[in-house]
Amino acid sequence: EKGAYRHFMEKEVHEQPDSVQHTLSEYLDLVTGAAKPQSVDFAAVDRIQIIACGTAFYAGQIGKYAFEKYAGLPCDVEIASEFRYRSPALTPGTVAVAVSQSGETADTLASLTWCKAQGLKTAAVVNVHTSSMAREADVLWPTHAGPEIGVASTKAFTAQVSALLALAVAAGVARGKIDATREAELVKALFEAPRLIAEALQMDGQIRAIAHDLAKATDVLFLGRGAMFPLAMEGALKLKEISYIHAEGYAAGELKHGPIALVDEKTPIIALAPLDEVYEKTASNLQEVAARGGPVVMIAPASAPAPHGAGIRRVDAPDCHPLIAPLVYAVPVQLLAYYTAVQKGTDVDQPRNLAKSVTVE
Ligand code: F6R
């Protein structure tokens, strides 16, 4: 039940320190600081093909950045409804990975079955461990988010991201890309996520104030670079789903290739800007937007240097290792959608036209 919370979504957002902790513990050993051995021999794999829909697709894209960066393992991510009908060309050393909360999404399941029929090794990152995908795949990679009631996915998303980040580290170790010192550093960083997610939940008051203004907008842009790009798309999806405000997520560097034409004083821009190797690039993109009169909200650690120019509102996020930024920054993104929807008075847990599990194509 909802307990002290007004909606299941709010409750599920607050459960994330626990659900992330449980999921990480499936793949990593906190005591030894090591990634647990996997039945998939990552050293023998030459490509990962992730297949998913909606929020799980964005989790997959975050996974791609990690598999390539930390394991040197090529990774493609595709929307299942496209993948299953376009005759994709796959090599025998590919592992097909379905990512799904329910494990029942029709297009994802059909894609998984097709990959298996092609003779590929298959795995499923699923939250419902008895689901069709869990049974169909050769390997089950569980997430431990517990039952998710809110139609808009929150804790299942961060659990998927947790599993994929942990598996990327495991793959990096197996492929000799990560030595023991680096492994210990990355595992430690991942296990800091639950505490930092709890800290991010304290951004509540600041986010509520932003949401108050966002509720008046008809269009919102979310921007990010690196793993913050898929998170920007997830933020836009969340806002659309529950507040019915039109939103788009863009790679910050793509702005000048088109979307900057949309920028005016009525279009809020939400930027996800952790202090990572591309922070300065993002900050300069924001100056460009602010210079054109766009109201910018920059979610960044207080320690990040201020971009020059007026019109940039800062929301302070916790400092964190870049590996876990998608987990920590997921919280303000979810809270922003949540409070905007509450402000608009929509049905947060049961948004119009949406079903929790899409078992028809
Ligand atoms: C968004 C949302 C959907 C699902 C998508 C896949 O908040 O919930 O986009 O992520 O329908 O569902 P699963 O993960 O069950 O395959």
Give the pLDDT score at 355: 81
List the alpha helices (DSSP H) in the chain: 8-14, 16-27, 54-71, 80-83, 106-117, 132-136, 155-174, 180-191, 193-201, 204-214, 228-243, 279-291, 325-344
The atom number, within ligand 1, closest to the CA of 358 reads 11
- Measured in Å, residue 54 CA sits from the centre of ligand 1 at 5
pLDDT digits (tens, 9 = 90+) for 286-312: 998 888 888 999 999 999 988 766 679
Q: Distance (Å, rounded) from C-alpha 140 to C-alpha 133?
A: 9
Mean pLDDT, residues 116-139? 98
Q: Work out the burial of residue 46: count CB atoms within 10 Å of its CB; fewer than 13 is exposed, 13-18 middle, 19 or more buried.
A: exposed
Under 8 Å between Cβ of 259 and 232: no
| 53 pocket-lining for ligand 1 (C-beta < 6 Å) | yes
Most ligand 1 atoms within 8 A of CB, residue of 8, 55, 132, 141 to mutate: 55
Give the pLDDT score at 214: 96
pLDDT digits (tens, 9 = 90+) for 282-292: 999 999 888 88
Helix axes 54-71, 228-243, angle to 10 degrees: 170
pLDDT digits (tens, 9 = 90+) for 182-229: 999 999 999 999 999 999 999 999 999 999 999 999 999 999 999 999
Under 8 Å between Cβ of 244 and 217: no
Compute how many other C-beta atoms are within 10 angstroms of the C-beta atom of residue 317: 26
SS3 (DSSP) at 83: helix
- Measured in Å, residue 10 CA sits from the centre of ligand 1 at 17
Give the pLDDT score at 208: 97
Mean pLDDT, residues 15-19? 98
Mean pLDDT, residues 131-135? 98
| 357 pocket-lining for ligand 1 (C-beta < 6 Å) | yes
Sorted by sequence, the CB contacts under 8 Å of residue 290 that are 6+ apart come out as 296, 307, 309, 310, 311, 312
Question: What is the percentage of the chain residues whose pLDDT exceeds 90?
Answer: 87
Give the pLDDT score at 354: 84
SS3 (DSSP) at 297: strand
Nearest to 83, CA basis, from 354, 361, 360, 355: 361
SS3 (DSSP) at 169: helix
Report the alpha-carbon angle 86-89-93, nearest 5.
140
Mean pLDDT, residues 132-137? 98
Under 8 Å between Cβ of 298 and 313: yes
The atom number, within ligand 1, closest to the CA of 152 reads 7
Q: Distance (Å, rounded) from C-alpha 351 to C-alpha 226?
A: 30
Q: Give 328's pLDDT tier (boundaries 50, 70, 90).
A: very high
pLDDT, mean over the chain: 95
Q: Distance (Å, rounded) from C-alpha 305 to C-alpha 300?
A: 9
| 152 pocket-lining for ligand 1 (C-beta < 6 Å) | yes
| 102 pocket-lining for ligand 1 (C-beta < 6 Å) | yes
Question: SS3 helix, strand, coil % of the chain, rounded to 5?
Answer: 50, 15, 35
| 56 pocket-lining for ligand 1 (C-beta < 6 Å) | yes
Long-range CB contacts for residues 3-7, cutoff 8 Å, separation at least 24: 6/342, 7/150, 7/338, 7/342, 7/348, 7/349
Q: Distance (Å, rounded) from C-alpha 12 to C-alpha 9?
A: 5
Tell whether the model's pLDDT for residue 314 goes beyond 70: yes
Sorted by sequence, the CB contacts under 8 Å of residue 266 that are 6+ apart come out as 217, 218, 219
pLDDT digits (tens, 9 = 90+) for 58-117: 999 999 999 999 999 999 999 999 999 999 999 999 999 999 999 999 999 999 999 999
Question: In this structure, what token pair is assigned to residue 313?
Answer: 């509102």
Give the pLDDT score at 347: 82
Under 8 Å between Cβ of 161 and 333: no
pLDDT digits (tens, 9 = 90+) for 245-292: 999 999 999 988 988 888 899 999 999 999 999 999 999 999 988 888
Give the pLDDT score at 309: 62
Tell whether the model's pLDDT for residue 174 goes beyond 90: yes
Q: Identify the active-site residue in 116, 177, 240, 356.
A: 356
Q: Global pTM?
A: 0.97
Nearest to 41, CA basis, from 142, 121, 158: 121
| 55 pocket-lining for ligand 1 (C-beta < 6 Å) | yes
Residue whose Cα lies nearest atom 11 of ligand 1: it is: 54
Q: Distance (Å, rounded) from C-alpha 252 to C-alpha 224?
A: 5
Give the pLDDT score at 259: 85
The atom number, within ligand 1, closest to the CA of 357 reads 15
Active site residue 356: yes
- Measured in Å, residue 237 CA sits from the centre of ligand 1 at 11
Compute how many other C-beta atoms are within 10 angstroms of the C-beta atom of residue 76: 15
Give the pLDDT score at 308: 65
Write the ipTM. Answer: 0.98
